[in-house]
Amino acid sequence: MATPVLLVKRVRLSLGPGDPLTNPTRLLWLLPILLLTSVSAKADTASVYVNGSYAFASYGYGIGPYGGTLNGSAASFYCIDFNHDIVGNTGWTANVTSLAISGTGTRLDNPTIYTEMAWMITQMMGTSDQTLQAEYQWAIWSLSVGNNSAAPHDYYGTNASIIGDAQKAVKGWSAGNWEILTPKGNYGQEFMVLATPEPKSLLLLLVGLAAFAVFALRK
């Protein structure tokens, strides 16, 4: 039996005068795009540390935000996980997932539920009423248990109504820059944080744009 032979036709890449690679001016237009891409790219993992602080207590549980650091910088964490216990002055490594793609690598694997949680957190942030803040937190925790039979008690009797409000509100609602921090190991709670651009990435973007402006003026 004859051995089949795979024939590969070589294609010669011909660059004309209008191609970006042969036109320095057009090539410069690509610089801001590349730099913006580098800014938007986020690390897949992060170092989470909780210092044991929280806003206030409700029925023996701390209501967020929790205090601590994210990659060594001060951060405010919002707990979206009632299935795992933690103690203060501990840390772990977490996977970082944008809310826009939250179906991958998260504990609930449900972007819709995470969006509803983000909406409830924004409501927490928008009021100084601790009772309302606690009601939103308990509603979030009730969503986080999934199929776990050990669901948190509905102390305020508002879980169902708040979740219903969230389900209606997220239709067409923009979740902004929320990120999900999912522990890589068994220890740690899943948190939500507001993403902030990394200083080094911002500096790189500014330098690149300045260089682009100089070259453009010379033309």
Instruction: List pLDDT tens digits, range 161-208.
Output: 999 999 999 998 988 899 999 999 999 999 999 987 655 444 445 555
pLDDT level of residue 71 (50, 70, 90 thresholds)? very high
Q: How many angstroms separate the CA atoms of 50 and 193, rounded?
A: 13
Q: Is residue 142 part of a domain?
A: yes
Looking at residue 29, its pLDDT comes to 52
Q: Is residue 141 part of a domain?
A: yes
* Amino acid found at 59: Y
pTM above 0.75, yes or no: no
Q: Is residue 155 part of a domain?
A: yes
Among 78, 49, 207, smallest CA distance to 143 is for 78
Q: Is residue 32 part of a domain?
A: no
Q: What is the mean pLDDT of the segment spanning 10-32?
A: 50
Q: What is the DSSP letter of 168?
A: H
Segments forming the whole domain that contains residue 116:
41-200
Q: Is residue 89 part of a domain?
A: yes
Looking at the structure of the chain, the number of domains it has is 1
Instruction: Name 126's Cβ contacts closer than 8 Å, sequence gap at least 6.
Output: none
* Amino acid found at 58: S
Q: Is residue 16 part of a domain?
A: no
- Average pLDDT value over all residues in the chain: 81
Q: Is residue 8 part of a domain?
A: no
Q: Is residue 108 part of a domain?
A: yes
